[in-house]
């Protein structure tokens, strides 16, 4: 059996670029929402003429689209991911643009905008680049996601702030079509998976480093040795909104 130090050294050595989570196979599991986001965007992309994927990461989910539209653009703000996304999306003929919340596109240029797990959603920019009648489809990270893991590192936390999707969608001038939420189980089977997850998904514990949180990681390691697993939970929210068609 690997020691605590061996496991932390392994977690520290894994690259964090991209959003390929295959390293976690056999070490952690997370249930997927019932709506099947990858399937949904595949269906929508097949009927789109011009589509945009916001905060694409390494393009791993977008790369699964079976029938891309004639114009397909992906945006990513973190430079190490841009090259990964360009490589993964080359077979689809997609363009990858390095940009943050301010989108470098003309008004009303896309009939579909999608985003999986955005850190922040630039709602006004989404509305601006959508054509009238265009759709925004997003799987959002729900408030309180992995709270159990955050509190294992940080101690008790205040209740999460409500997200008010109805209000932010309306404020952007979009019409809400669908809003669904699910709570899903997450399990970690060794402390290497915990440490690597926290290195990769940086908003779970802001300022995380293995050295800084070594005592908390030790406590999690000992808990996994006793119980066989560290259990957490994720929240996922499906948001679909449409830009109103122009009258007349």
DSSP string, 26-66: TTEEEPPPTT-HHHHHHHHHHT-SEEEEES-TTSTTGGG-S
Burial of 67 (0-12, 13-18, 19+ CB in 10 A): exposed
Q: Which CATH number does the domain housing residue 25 bear?
A: 3.40.50.150
Asked, for residue 123, whether it belongs to a domain, the answer is: yes
Q: What is the 3-state secondary structure (H, E, C) of 3-36?
A: CHHHHHHHHHHCCCCCCCCHHHCCCEEECCCCCC
Asked, for residue 247, whether it belongs to a domain, the answer is: no
Burial of 9 (0-12, 13-18, 19+ CB in 10 A): middle
pLDDT of residue 18: 81
User: Cα 121 to chain center, whole Å?
Assistant: 11
Asked, for residue 115, whether it belongs to a domain, the answer is: yes
SS3 245: coil
The two three-digit tokens of residue 56, written as one number: 């694409």
* Domain containing residue 45: 4-242
Query: How many CA atoms are closer than 13 Å to the CA of 83, on its beta-carbon side?
Result: 3
Asked, for residue 232, whether it belongs to a domain, the answer is: yes
CB 68 within 8 A of CB 83: no
Which distant-in-sequence residues (6+ apart) come within 8 Å of 194 by Cβ? 11, 28, 149, 188, 217, 220, 230
Asked, for residue 8, whether it belongs to a domain, the answer is: yes
Rounded Cα distance between 85 and 173, Å, is 30
In 79-146, which residue ranges form alpha helices assigned H by DSSP?
A: 79-89, 123-129
Which distant-in-sequence residues (6+ apart) come within 8 Å of 144 by Cβ? 159, 160, 235
pLDDT tens track for 121-171: 999 999 999 999 999 999 999 999 999 999 999 999 999 999 999 999 999
Asked, for residue 248, whether it belongs to a domain, the answer is: no
pLDDT of residue 1: 63
Q: Count up the domains in the chain and report the number.
A: 1
Blockwise average pLDDT, block size 10, the chain, 248 residues: 92 90 95 98 97 96 97 96 96 97 97 96 98 98 97 97 96 98 98 97 96 98 98 98 83
Rounded Cα distance between 200 and 189, Å, is 17
């Amino acid at each position: 059996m690997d020691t605590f130090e061996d496991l932390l050294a392994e977690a520290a050595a894994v690259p964090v670029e991209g959003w390929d989570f295959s390293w976690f196979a056999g070490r952690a599991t997370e249930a997927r929402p019932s709506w099947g986001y990858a399937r949904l965007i595949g269906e929508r992309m097949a009927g789109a003429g011009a589509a945009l994927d916001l905060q694409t990461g390494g393009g791993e989910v977008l790369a699964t689209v079976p029938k891309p539209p004639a114009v397909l653009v992906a945006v990513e703000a973190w430079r190490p991911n841009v090259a990964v996304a360009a490589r993964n999306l080359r077979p689809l003929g997609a363009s990858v643009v390095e940009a943050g919340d301010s989108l470098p596109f003309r008004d009303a240029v896309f009939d579909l905008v999608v985003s999986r797990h955005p850190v922040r959603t630039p709602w006004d920019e989404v509305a601006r680049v959508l054509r009238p009648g265009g759709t925004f489809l997003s799987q959002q990270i729900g408030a309180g996601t992995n709270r159990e893991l955050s509190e294992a590192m940080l101690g008790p936390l205040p209740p999460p702030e409500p997200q008010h999707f109805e209000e932010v969608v309306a404020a952007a001038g979009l019409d809400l079509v669908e809003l669904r939420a699910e709570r899903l189980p997450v399990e970690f089977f060794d402390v290497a998976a915990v440490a690597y997850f926290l290195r990769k998904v940086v908003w779970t514990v802001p300022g995380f480093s293995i050295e800084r949180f070594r005592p908390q990681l030790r406590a999690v390691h000992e808990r996994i040795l006793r119980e066989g697993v560290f259990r957490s939970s994720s929240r996922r929210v499906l948001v679909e909104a449409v830009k109103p068609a122009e009258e007349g």
